[in-house]
Amino acid sequence: MTRAAVGNCRRWVVKIGSALLTDGGNGLDRQAIDAWVEQIDGLLATGKEIVLVSSGAIAEGLVRLQWARRPESIGQLQAAAAVGQMGLIEAYQTSFQRFGRHTAQILLDHDDMASRQRYLNARSALNTLLGHGVVPIVNENDTVVTDEIRFGDNDRLAAMVANLLDADLLVILTDRDGLFTADPAIDPQATLIAEAACSDSSLDVVAGGSGSGVGRGGMLTKLQAARQAAHSGCNTLIVGGAQQNILSRIAAGEPLGSLLTTDQKPLAARKQWLAGQLQIRGQLRLDAGAVAVLRQQGSSLLAVGVLAVEGDFKRGDLISCQDTEGREVARGLINYSADETAMIKGYSTGEIIRQLGYCEEDELIHRDNLVVLA
């Protein structure tokens, strides 16, 4: 992929790390924020769509609460996030208003990605905001998440947003110039990796830990984020965010940072994402005929082919489809709840209304929301 093609990408997700935003953790750097916002305004003027995934809420909260160090308890971290989020969004809003731009705060958590209904709601809201020229400012909902359900860092969150919106480019602004062959702080012979396939396993060896001590994500999480973004056909650029006019120069096609490319097509990539990223909420046991149709024709799953229903799931949840021996054949997003599925299993599509009194969809799982695994 040429750098000119990178610059021509229309929909960008831009992630800004804590070290860039907070001047080493000492409160928000308003001057830096103003510089990025000015560049984003210029990109928007050319017809690009920009979604910001911004770190910095907890770091700003620590300053406002006058806490000397980052706490370890969940309650204190959530409190710092709640306080700091006010300052973070206010800073962006004030800066964008200089150009007559509106912003919107979007707080997401893992359940928003795992629930089909909430996933679609988030996607619809973000697309509507972009359609009206509003700049969404996305962050993890740190005030309610726990370690068990958090994304882990905003690199992964940014990748999930790229998947959510079918973005063309994920730009991860960091305190380093990109991904190097070794840690440049230790090895003076280390060289910048200008471009590589994100699937290249050799990159795992050179991706090191976090160097700033301010954020949670290091180069390894950025590599993992690039691979996550690739699931929807999105390329990733890891680049030093402190460089002058960095976003404008990327748009101009300058060969900056490390470009991690993907050759996956969006439809196939989306099914790969379904295969590995969401939590399975239930199981369906299928008869031999349904298994054969799924494997050989890639058709939608109909209720008539279901023998048994397990789990307590809702419409839009991810469901595992198994053969009579319990082997997983496919998984997908179901159109009916567990109770509804139990009532219509074994019945043809024409009989769904008689069993339920209504028919949400003809298919139990539509083929577009179904991935065959074996």
Residue (of 58, 5, 19) closest to 219 by Cα position: 19
| 101 and 246 both lie in a single domain | yes
**pLDDT confidence of residue 230:** 87
**Residues 318 and 226 reside in one and the same domain:** no
| Domain region containing 346 | 279-372
340: which residues sit within 8 A by CB, 6+ positions away? 315, 356, 360
- How many distinct structural domains can be found in the chain? 2
Exposed, middle or buried: residue 47 (CB in 10 Å: 0-12, 13-18, 19+)?
exposed
**Distance between CA atoms of residues 262 and 159, nearest Å:** 13
User: Do 232 and 157 share a domain, yes or no?
Assistant: yes
Domain closes at, from 245, 271, 297: 271
What's the angle, vertex CA 139, arms to CA 135 and CA 145, rounded to 5? 150
Which of 236, 271, 306 is the C-terminal boundary of a domain?
Answer: 271
pLDDT in tens, 145-172: 555 334 457 898 899 899 889 899 999 9
Determine contact, residues 15/221, Cβ cutoff 8 Å: no
Instruction: Based on the fold, state whether residues 205 and 291 are members of the same structural domain.
Output: no
- Please report the pLDDT score of residue 143 as a whole number: 63
Same domain, 188 and 287: no
Question: Same domain, yes or no, for 296 and 163?
Answer: no
DSSP secondary structure code for residue 155 in this structure: H
Between 278 and 112, name the one with better pLDDT: 112
71: pLDDT confidence band, cut at 50, 70 and 90? confident
* Token pair for 341: 């599925």
Tokens 């980052």 correspond to 70
Considering the domain architecture, whether residues 64 and 156 belong to the same structural domain is answered as: yes
Q: Is the pLDDT of residue 231 over 70?
A: yes
Residue 39 CA neighbour count, 13 Å, CB half: 19
pLDDT for 253 equals 96
CA–CA gap between residue 53 and residue 81 (Å, rounded): 15
Q: Looking at 271, 303, 328, which one is the last position of a domain?
A: 271
Task: Give the separation between CA 337 and CA 79, rounded to whole angstroms.
Answer: 36
Here the CATH number for the domain that contains residue 67 is 3.40.1160.10
pLDDT of 340-366, one tens digit each? 999 999 999 999 999 999 998 899 999
Distance CA 366, CA 6 (A): 34
Q: Is the pLDDT of residue 211 over 50?
A: no
82-86 mean pLDDT = 91
One domain, residues 325 and 341:
yes
Q: What is the CATH number of the domain that holds 325?
A: 2.30.130.10
Query: Predicted confidence band at 208 (pLDDT cuts at 50, 70, 90)?
Result: low
Residues 6+ apart with CB under 8 A from 373: 275, 328, 329, 330, 331
Give the C-alpha separation, 199 to 139, whole Å: 27
In this prediction, residues 75-83 reach a mean pLDDT of: 87
Q: Quick one: which H or E segment has residue 307?
A: strand 306-310
Query: Does residue 285 share a domain with residue 148?
Result: no
Closest CA to 86 of 109, 110, 56, 122: 56
Q: Look at the block and give the residue holding tokens 């969401």.
A: 278
First-to-last CA distance in the chain?
33
Res 250 pLDDT > 50: yes
Residues 175 and 92 in one domain: yes
Classify the phi-psi angles of 87: left when phi > 0, otherwise alpha if psi is within -120 to 50, otherwise beta: alpha
218-228 pLDDT per residue, tens: 788 899 899 88
Q: Determine the average pLDDT of the residues in 92-106.
A: 97
Same domain? For 240 and 315 the reply is no
- Average pLDDT, rounded, for the chain: 87
pLDDT digits (tens, 9 = 90+) for 251-292: 999 999 999 999 776 656 567 667 655 578 899 999 999 999
- Dump pLDDT digits (tens) for 16-46: 988 888 876 578 999 999 999 999 999 999 9
Instruction: Enter the pTM of the model.
Output: 0.74
Q: CA 36, CA 268: separation in Å to the nearest integer? A: 34
Do 195 and 237 lie in a common domain?
yes
- pLDDT at res. 59: 85
